[in-house]
Amino acid sequence: MHESDRQPKHLSDYAAPDYLIETVDLDFHLEPERTIVHADLAMRPNPEAKAARPLVLDGEGVELISIAVDGKPLQPDEYSATETGLTVPDVPTGPFTLSLKTACNPEANEALLGLYRSNGAFCTQCEPEGFRRITFFLDRPDVLATYRVRLEADKKTNPVLLSNGNPVERGDVEGTDRHYAVWEDPHPKPSYLFAAVAGDLAKISDSFTTQSGREVALNIYVEHGKEDRCDWAMESLKNAMKWDEERFGREYDLDVFNIVAVSDFNMGAMENKGLNIFNDKLVLARPDTASDADYAAIEGVIAHEYFHNWTGNRITCRDWFQLCLKEGLTVFRDQEFSADLRAGPVKRILDVRNLKSRQFPEDSGPLAHPVRPGSYIEINNFYTATVYEKGAELCRMLQTMLGRDDFRKGLDLYFERHDGQAVTVEDFLAALADASGKDLSEFMHWYNQAGTPELACSLDYDQQSKTATLNVSQILPATPGQPNKEPMPIPLRIGLLGPNGDDLPLTLEDGTELSDGLLEVTEREQSFTFTGIPTPPTPSLLREFSAPVRLTQTIDLEQIEFLMMHDSDPFNRWQAAQSYAAKLLTDAARDRYNPEPVKGQGASRLAKALAVTANEEELAYAYRGEMLKLPSESDIARELARNIDTDAIREARETLRETIGNAIHADLAGIYEELADTGPYSPDGISAGKRSMRIAALDLLVGSGKDDELERAAAHYRGATNMTDAIYSLLILAPHDDPRRDEAMADFYERWKDDALVLDKWFAVQARSARPDSVEIVEGLLSHPKFSLKNPNRVRALIGSFANGNPTGFNRKDGAGYEFLAECALRIDKFNPHMAARLLGAFESWRFLEPNREAHAKATLEGLANAELSTDSYEIVSKTLGDE
């Protein structure tokens, strides 16, 4: 551990690189345990930087074999190579070529960064700072070079040799068992977009003709035997290519687009230029192995990585503080893609649910940071929900405020102005401002200020003047290092419902007609008065979730029920149902469990309203399915905000589930029967919607507590002909002590024990299942012969699902869940710090727990702080404890 690694880096310290690299020539001699890399770097001093500095290259665990400048070998006293870099004090003042010969050990690489092995193949992961594990380099995103890559390897075990760009040459190495391939990427790129793959992989091919008539070869490489699981990924890729042309005018720019699926991958996928590398979980799908949610995730992530070709690759980030520049914008683009392909409002509901469940806690806890952070210790820790999901919301707000057309014009200008450059968030906003004529200077606060703003609203009605006044104040909570904040521009979309549930025309005092219901809040306190309102209206605020804020308002249950039945905005109609349930649930779980709210009058009214919407046939199945889902235990915890007792929350939710399951039993059973025949499996939105709605009904039916309903779930499992039906019925059965649960679990295991991705689901179902002995069950599974700490997907399936998907188990009263997570993280931290640090993120809300659990969590965190930790885990633990 180098103490200097633990010093924070600051955005304000940015300085242009001292040297530039124009071209990179790499020659890989691939061997599992000792790969030799020859690098020829055409360099020159950066005219923008101060001259005559030593050349300092990044490196990590790379062994230097030889070094030469302009072909002349350097003597040992002319350079110094260490574990973290290479320094050459004296280099030419003009252009020169630096030649390096280095070695690394892919087989021993368990951090899965740089060049490593997955299932016998070579692959790479260079974002953000992995390239320095392959060779010494200026491993920063503002050094852009063109690459020529030669890969040489044993031909029999590595028939496939891939790198970025276009293939230019291949052949055998005479007199050996080896062969080689040469790839050239004409587009200058930073090192984090470099990729290479070698191995024995199967290939599925197709092609796409761009809008200008160029044909692009499309290939997906997977393990042999998995070829029949690639169709959906290929179809998604073609849809994404077409959509980006139509919606944003973006065309692909190489002759080939390759995707490789690997089974050992730290994250979801990686947008390397022309050679995307994927966690195979986000490529492989067959009706019997992948659920509807898996299909949707594959569609979204294939599109996400493809969209990076313009937002990230052609235009990249100046430094890692600007990560949201590519990630927020690209998430926004993939969300819009999926919304256009499927039922739009449902996609919005899912995205907002994801934002609230993952980003809101981050933003209100000790790890809160701005969408563009001002400092970090380890950049790997900043691939967060804030950078990605809130970053996407900022782009969405910009589109809302500018309007679709001007937003598109702004993006066009951004692409035109900055193609081939490494830029900043300021450059992005300047393009949008210049193209639209809108002043966006205040909007920068959204990028620099952490914390979820609270938007406190109240509506005053004046009978005399027939006016309604909406009073809005934005409350900006303090976050670590940011006690005071400036007000921000907030797009607030609203409607006012008249007595029959229709939207009233919105006319401001000055006569402005708000045809789209869009207000722009710019001050801390602001009022908007609407005229010509005949009777007191019901406000529908923050329609479409137009800004990532926490809306608070004085509104009673009757008004919420009214919105739930009548709101013309589908998002807010769903939100009303959630708010209604959340009100009952928080009343029941606050301080100590009180069953009245989840058993009484309010609960039966909610049940009846749910039955009415569920039977409204004009609404999409998927939408009705979402209506039938109660807020999750974590949703309720977030609403409570403090003194959280996860057992009380679960009891409240189970009781409400029981009340509803009994109150509208006949309706639910009717829905369940009516949707029984979904025909042969198809992942399309309508079929998936039917399955989702049917399973939501099943969940409430089983929640009723009647024994024949558990039998219904068991039968659902036994009759399942696709993974969606199988896995959700298994999830519903999992918490029950019942032989039918054990049978289903054993059956699933027997059927899928040799299929890694499906077996992950078997681990995850058990980890998520709320039982008094969850900790022991999960602990026991650690020693299951099929479990391995070295595979990230399996770790996430078991340990991640437990920590993030099983609130009662993880937060068990005696603190055993916390201790378990800490022990696992410590073991993983020894070889894969990136993974360990991500798992430790599960402690982020510890301060909101009731005192007893809070004390246990604190003790566990203090234990971790005293252990030997990687820089990654150190940053998370120390910030989570807040003793920095």
Q: Interaction with Zn ion in 329-388: which residues (CB under 5 A)?
A: 330
Strand partners, 518: 493
The CA distance from 613 to 668, in Å, is 12
The CA distance from 624 to 696, in Å, is 9
CB of 269 to ligand TRP, least distance (A): 6
CB atoms within 10 A of CB 676: 11
Q: Which does 64 bind (CB under 5 to 8 A by kind): ligand TRP, Zn ion, none?
A: none
Nearer CB in complex with Zn ion: 328/489: 328
CB of 270 to ligand TRP, least distance (A): 4
Q: Interaction with ligand TRP in 775-804: which residues (CB under 6 A)?
A: none
Q: Which does 380 bind (CB under 5 to 8 A by kind): Zn ion, ligand TRP, none?
A: ligand TRP
Nearer CB in complex with Zn ion: 389/633: 389
The CA distance from 670 to 733, in Å, is 21
Nearer CB in complex with ligand TRP: 111/402: 111
Contact segment (CB under 5 A) with Zn ion among 156-164, 319-327, 486-494, 746-754 equals 319-327
Contact segment (CB under 6 A) with ligand TRP among 125-133, 469-477, 617-625, 768-776 equals 125-133
Nearer CB in complex with ligand TRP: 735/792: 792
Nearer CB in complex with ligand TRP: 127/709: 127
Of positions 383, 415, 593, 787, contacts ligand TRP by CB under 6 A = 383
Number of residues interacting with ligand TRP: please give it, by CB under 6 A.
Answer: 13
CB of 111 to ligand TRP, least distance (A): 10
DSSP 411-445: HHHHHHHHTT-EE-HHHHHHHHHHHH----GGGHH
Contact segment (CB under 5 A) with Zn ion among 241-249, 327-335, 341-349, 792-800 equals 327-335
CA dihedral 276, 280, 286, 287 (to 10 degrees): -110
CA 579 to chain centre: 25
Q: Which does 266 bind (CB under 5 to 8 A by kind): Zn ion, ligand TRP, none?
A: ligand TRP
Instruction: Determine whether 709 is an active site residue.
Output: no
CB of 584 to ligand TRP, least distance (A): 38
Nearer CB in complex with Zn ion: 118/330: 330
Nearer CB in complex with Zn ion: 272/399: 272
CB of 829 to ligand TRP, least distance (A): 16
Of positions 127, 319, 362, 699, contacts ligand TRP by CB under 6 A = 127
Q: Which does 645 bind (CB under 5 to 8 A by kind): Zn ion, ligand TRP, none?
A: none
Helix, strand, coil tally for the chain in percent (to 5): 45, 20, 35
CB of 241 to ligand TRP, least distance (A): 17
Contact segment (CB under 6 A) with ligand TRP among 214-222, 260-268, 416-424, 544-552 equals 260-268
CB of 315 to Zn ion, least distance (A): 14
Of positions 124, 266, 311, 655, contacts ligand TRP by CB under 6 A = 266
Of positions 11, 68, 217, 267, contacts ligand TRP by CB under 6 A = 267
Residue 288: name the closest of 674, 683, 676 by CA. 683
Nearer CB in complex with ligand TRP: 24/329: 329
Nearer CB in complex with ligand TRP: 96/383: 383
State both tokens at 759.
Answer: 């077996």
Q: Which residue is nearest to ligand TRP (CB)?
A: 267
Collapse the DSSP code of 365 into the 3-class scheme (helix H, G, I; strand E, B; otherwise coil) and give the result: coil
Give the x/- contact pattern for ligand TRP in 352-381, rule: CB under 6 A. ----------------------------x-
55: phi then psi, degrees, rounded to nearest 5: -85, 120
Residue 131: name the closest of 70, 71, 41, 259 by CA. 41
The CA distance from 455 to 490, in Å, is 9
DSSP 671-739: HHHHT----S---SHHHHHHHHHHHHHHHHHHHT--HHHHHHHHHHHHH--SHHHHHHHHHHHTTS-SH
The CA distance from 311 to 189, in Å, is 13
Residue with tokens 């969405």, as numbered in its chain: 396
Residue 584: name the closest of 596, 571, 567, 572 by CA. 596
CB of 127 to Zn ion, least distance (A): 9
Contact segment (CB under 6 A) with ligand TRP among 170-178, 266-274, 655-663, 795-803 equals 266-274
Contact segment (CB under 6 A) with ligand TRP among 265-273, 597-605, 701-709, 808-816 equals 265-273
Q: Does 86 bind ligand TRP (CB under 6 A)?
A: no
CB of 873 to ligand TRP, least distance (A): 15
CA dihedral 278, 284, 290, 294 (to 10 degrees): 30
Collapse the DSSP code of 103 into the 3-class scheme (helix H, G, I; strand E, B; otherwise coil) and give the result: strand
Residue 568: DSSP 8-state: S
Nearer CB in complex with ligand TRP: 121/630: 121
Give the x/- contact pattern for Zn ion in 268-307, rule: CB under 5 A. ----------------------------------------
Please answer whether residues 614 and 666 qualify as being in contact, where contact means their C-beta atoms are separated by less than 8 angstroms: no
Nearer CB in complex with Zn ion: 142/327: 327
Give the x/- contact pattern for ligand TRP in 280-319, rule: CB under 6 A. ------------------------xx--x-----------
Of positions 270, 346, 758, 869, contacts ligand TRP by CB under 6 A = 270
Radius of gyration of the chain (CA): 28
Name the catalytic one among 127, 299, 305, 393. 305
Q: Which does 127 bind (CB under 5 to 8 A by kind): Zn ion, ligand TRP, none?
A: ligand TRP
Collapse the DSSP code of 111 into the 3-class scheme (helix H, G, I; strand E, B; otherwise coil) and give the result: coil
Residue 218: name the closest of 228, 229, 200, 231 by CA. 231
Number of residues interacting with Zn ion: please give it, by CB under 5 A.
Answer: 2
CB of 815 to Zn ion, least distance (A): 36
Of positions 60, 244, 264, 271, contacts ligand TRP by CB under 6 A = 271
Taking CA atoms, 480 is separated from 8, 365, 386, 483, 484, in Å, by: 15, 9, 15, 7, 11
Query: What b/e string do you get for 695-730 counting C-beta neighbours within 10 Å, with b at 16 or more?
Result: bbbbbbbbbbeeeebbebbbebbeebebbbbbbbbb
State both tokens at 730.
Answer: 């298994």
The CA distance from 839 to 829, in Å, is 10
CB of 57 to ligand TRP, least distance (A): 21
Please return the burial class of 529, using the count of CB atoms within 10 Å of its CB with bins 0-12, 13-18 and 19+.
middle
The CA distance from 861 to 839, in Å, is 13
CB of 380 to ligand TRP, least distance (A): 6
Residues classed as catalytic: 305
Residues near ligand TRP, by CB under 6 A = 125, 127-128, 266-268, 270-271, 304-305, 308, 380, 383
Interacting residue ranges for Zn ion, rule: CB under 5 A:
327, 330
